Structure 1
Amino acid sequence: MDALQLANTAFAVDMFKKLCEKDKTANIVFAPLCTSTSLALAYKATKGDTADQMKKVLHLQDVKDVSFGFQTVTADVSKLTSFFALKMVKRLFVDKSLSPTTDFVNSTKRPFPSELELVEFKEKTEETRQKINKSLSELTDGKMENILNEDSVSDKTQILLVNAAYFVTNWMKKFPEAEIKECPFKINKTETKPVQMMNLEATFCLGYVKELNVAILELPCLNKHISMLILLPKDIEDETTGLEKLEKALTPETLLQWTNPSMMANTKVNVFLPKFSVEGDYDLKPLLESLGMTNVFNESASDFSEMCETKGVVLIKHYKTCVKYL
């Protein structure tokens, strides 16, 4: 795994842990590659302490060519769109009044061919908001409407970063419709709730983390290019969801270790899985600030001088994602 992949994995784990802290019982779904790609474009516009903070939070210290790395990763992901309904929208909207330098705009065209867009927040606030919403709806095939509400932008908005992602796929080994039935789903040690449960007996890759008493199952999607990894504690020992111990032990290193193919083996498994679709909508500003990325949101500290000479430029951040498995 190259330096950028390791960096993206580390950033993903950091995001996941912060989202878990916010709500220990909520379902969490997000596409960290969306966020890291668009933040990498914003990073390209920064200097000084602002750049150092972003570099640290995104774990880019060992990445030699950040722009080329993201260009390669984005191209690889784009190839998957012929196999799945997969859309990841990453946009950095910059108000024209900032007059971004020609050098900066030109430097983004190859590594970030569609991510940077000049708009008119100052002169045409509502028209710009509606135009952005329409564009994002079209880019996600109408799956995501009105991502920016009326309070999202104002005539003071200078830089807006928006991520939107959705993913719809079929399993390689499809769960039979006839086997779907209502079953109890364990929420914690004492509580259950009825759900529509899918069932399939087949051979899958299965691993086990002995010290955590956690089973790891790989469910490949159609064409095997993407898999879902399920980490399931064998027992719930207290009134929590049973995941807290696992989440505490989760690091970029342990995740790579646990999911290493050499740690898993083909095993006949009887799988019960709730039928589900998941959608998430987050304001990542407080999350990024808690990770140490504070300058980009602070008028007195932000430094976007690689892009423009205007002082006090700050970033606004929106994120939405949707995943459906059929």
Structure 2
Amino acid sequence: MAIDALRLANTAFAVDMFKKLCEKDKTANIVFAPLCTSTSLALAYKGTKGDTATQILKALHLDDVKDVLFGFQTVTSDVSKLSSFFSLKMVKRLYVEKSLNPTTEFISSTKRPFPSELELVDFKEKTEETRQQINKSVSELTDGKMENILNEGSINDQTKILLVNTAYFVTNWMKKFSEAQIKECPFKINKTETKPVQMMNLEATFCLGYVKELNIAVLELPCLNKHMSMLILLPKEIEDDTTGLEQLEKMLTPETLVEWTNPSVMANTKVNVFLPKFKVEGDYDLKPVLESLGMTNIFNENVADFSEMSETKGVVLSQIIHRVSLEVNEEGAEVRDVPGYRILQHKDEFKADHPFIFLFRHNKTRNIILSGRFCSP
């Protein structure tokens, strides 16, 4: 039950984050890793007290979750097993200035659930050395995919706590898209303009659902061994003056998302799927996003309360760096068509040749690992 409460909390936080990132730019591609952020913040929460702690719990929707760190430990250990099947790397690190002298209780209480997420570093005396060291270790943890996570000048000798989230993922499907079927097609970025895109095509049986009142289709594409699925929310047409996603984004809530992607409202259908090959990258400073979700104390020297971690006054979360890279391509297991499906004359078409929202869900815990929207090649 606790894991259920955590899943709902994480879903709600993912939706909140998504909507805030959408508000910033109506037409940009977006990709972010909500689970990285909530895990790191749960770790920071362990060091806070009073209103600072309450605000974190509220922003992460964790008020009803009994043992927060244990819940995250269970989910993250499940999710980390995925990296043996996929090129999926997730880094969630809390770098703490060592002169803050974090208490032994704090260090040991975080080390048990998260052996490597907390690191004591020297921002104060060895700023540049520390920056290079963090860059090097993040690069190594992501197979060299995430270089220079910290630009020059991004930290200084006043940096207290730095939170770094990075994730990269390259798809690996249960059913491979045939390379021979990839063709250049126009992708509508709005009502009047198109851009060319490499369009993949596959006809197979998938879970498909419809949200009648919004005129959107919801497709589930399982990744290898069904450990994860990509869920795509695609409006039928571009109805507004930007991406065609405005109405959907407005109606999106944690509740509607759970409702629309619920397996019970989707059916196994023979579908002719058209999906662009694409690569999206997101690079965000999450401080303003979290502040707008009510997490203001943690960044404010006058009120931040990190007394569960350190006796030093004025400890704040100085910065949150969030960088994600996602590559959607044709790779996957070879398709052997199951005999008997031939009888299905009727087939649906799912043609993602205009903007859509996507999420990658870990099917065992049903947590959202990556989410975003694709608006333009």
**What's the TM-score, normalizing by structure 1?**
0.98
Could you tell me how far 1:255 is from its partner in structure 2? 0.6
Q: 2:196 aligns with which of 183, 194, 197?
A: 194
Letter in 1 for 2:118: L
- Whole-Å separation in 2 of the counterparts to 1:254 and 1:87: 29
- Whole-Å separation in 2 of the counterparts to 1:237 and 1:142: 41
Which residue number in structure 2 is paired with residue 323 of structure 1? 326
Question: How much identity, in percent, do the aligned residues show?
Answer: 83
Any unmatched runs of 5+ in structure 2? 330-377
- 3-state DSSP of counterpart to 1:2: helix
Aligned residues: 326
- Whole-Å separation in 2 of the counterparts to 1:194 and 1:276: 11
- Whole-Å separation in 1 of the counterparts to 2:192 and 2:171: 33
- Whole-Å separation in 1 of the counterparts to 2:235 and 2:161: 43
- Whole-Å separation in 2 of the counterparts to 1:233 and 1:242: 7
Which residue number in structure 2 is paired with residue 226 of structure 1? 228
Asked whether the equivalents of residues 240 and 246 of structure 2 are also in contact (C-alpha less than 8 Å), the reply is no
Letter in 1 for 2:69: S
Asked whether the equivalents of residues 59 and 295 of structure 2 are also in contact (C-alpha less than 8 Å), the reply is yes
Which residue number in structure 2 is paired with residue 139 of structure 1? 141
Which residue number in structure 2 is paired with residue 210 of structure 1? 212
Asked whether the equivalents of residues 237 and 244 of structure 2 are also in contact (C-alpha less than 8 Å), the reply is yes
Could you tell me how far 1:169 is from its partner in structure 2? 2.5
Could you tell me how far 1:111 is from its partner in structure 2? 1.4
- Whole-Å separation in 1 of the counterparts to 2:104 and 2:49: 17
Could you tell me how far 1:237 is from its partner in structure 2? 1.9
Could you tell me how far 1:13 is from its partner in structure 2? 0.3
Moved more, 10-19 or 233-242: 233-242
- Whole-Å separation in 2 of the counterparts to 1:238 and 1:296: 38
- 3-state DSSP of counterpart to 1:29: strand
- Whole-Å separation in 2 of the counterparts to 1:240 and 1:119: 45
- 3-state DSSP of counterpart to 1:271: strand
**What's the TM-score, normalizing by structure 2?**
0.85
Q: 1:281 aligns with which of 280, 283, 308?
A: 283
Q: Root-mean-square deviation (CA), in Å?
A: 0.9
- Whole-Å separation in 1 of the counterparts to 2:161 and 2:274: 45
Letter in 2 for 1:117: E
- Whole-Å separation in 2 of the counterparts to 1:95 and 1:102: 15
Which residue number in structure 2 is paired with residue 99 of structure 1? 101
- 3-state DSSP of counterpart to 2:205: strand
Asked whether the equivalents of residues 190 and 239 of structure 1 are also in contact (C-alpha less than 8 Å), the reply is no
- Whole-Å separation in 2 of the counterparts to 1:292 and 1:196: 41
Letter in 2 for 1:272: F
Any unmatched runs of 5+ in structure 1? none
